Amino acid sequence: MFMRFVRLSVKPDQIDEFADFYEDIVAPALHSVDGCLFATLIRDERSARDCISLTLWTSADHAREYEQSGQYAELLAKNRPFLIESSEWRVQLTDDLTLEYGPVQSQPEVDTFEVISSTTEEAPSEEDLSHMYLRITSANVQQGKVKLFDELYRGSIIPALKSVDGFQHAFLVASTENPNELLSVTVWESKEKADAYERSGRFAYLVDQVKPMLSSLFQWKVALDPSKKENVVTSDDLKVEGFRVLTGE
């Protein structure tokens, strides 16, 4: 499977309307596209506007064909009334050599990932994920350690997660831009159960299992004197983000 994120900045006062629009218009349109297995809208719990259209595809080729066919551009145009426009302006020269100063229409950021491990061989249904909570943990893995990380994820992390109350699904995905950048996407019955999992110490225990495979910058931070660690931030640290599923409610 292939996972695709389209990051959208939605007008905060129109989040509910956009969620309904996504469920009624966007998701059915995506389902009609060959190769699209799943589509849902999720919102960053720390933000009133940052959303992601998360889709699963049978292959990267299907996702690429969808984008190149013009269907993605058509759906994006329909989304525009709900989106926050960029405040960036640009000076450009027109065909008649006149200087023109106008706003730049921003394009959503698109991230793509290969699914390398998951708890299910089939995409979950949107109905199954309604009211659910997603937890996305990102990490940069050392060169040559992705396969080892995947083996540990399938052999130890997924079995451990399956024993946790509230856990539903897990996907380990690798960025198509940087194969050493991995995301663990986990689905939970609720934010409360995901938070309880982290408070229990199980998440910290699992992180300890993968630490030897993380980037050299992460290793350097871990090796620092404990009194200095809090003052050091690197781009390779583990990052945990929470998202609420907005569709299907």
Length of the chain: 249
DSSP state at residue 29: H
Comparing CA positions, the residue from 47, 169, 76, 63 lying closest to residue 111 is 63
- Are 172 and 117 in contact by the 8 Å Cβ rule? The answer is yes
Q: CA nearest 39: which of 52, 50, 47, 13?
A: 52
- Give residue 60's pLDDT: 93
Rounded CA separation 123/61 (Å): 17
| Per-residue pLDDT at 126 | 72
Contact 213, 31 (CB under 8 A): no
The CATH code of the domain at 2-85+106-245 is 3.30.70.100
Q: What is the DSSP letter of 104?
A: -
Query: Structure tokens of 62?
Result: 């299907």
Give the residue among 170, 171, 166, 173 at the shortest CA–CA distance from 132: 166
* Domain residue extents for the chain: 2-85+106-245
Q: What is the DSSP letter of 241?
A: E
Q: Are 54 and 1 in contact (CB under 8 A)?
A: no
Distance between CA atoms of residues 172 and 154, nearest Å: 9
How many angstroms separate the CA atoms of 141 and 173, rounded?
A: 12
User: Tell me, what's the pLDDT at 123?
Assistant: 73
pLDDT, position 223: 55
Q: What is the pLDDT of residues 103-124, one digit of tens each?
A: 555 678 899 999 999 998 777 7
Q: How many CA atoms within 13 Å lie on the side-chain side of 136?
A: 19
What's the confidence (pLDDT) of residue 105? 52
Q: Give the three-state DSSP class for 59.
A: coil
DSSP 3-state assignment of 138? strand
Tokens of 60: 């990267």
Taking a C-beta distance cutoff of 8 angstroms, is the pair 75, 26 a contact? yes
CA nearest neighbour of 180 among 200, 204, 150: 150
- Which residues of the chain are modeled with pLDDT < 70? 86-106, 216-237, 248-249
Compute the distance between CA of residue 8 and CA of residue 74 in angstroms, rounded to an integer: 15
At 216-245, the pLDDT tens digits run: 655 554 555 555 444 444 445 678 899 999
- Global pTM reads 0.81
Give the pLDDT score at 120.
80
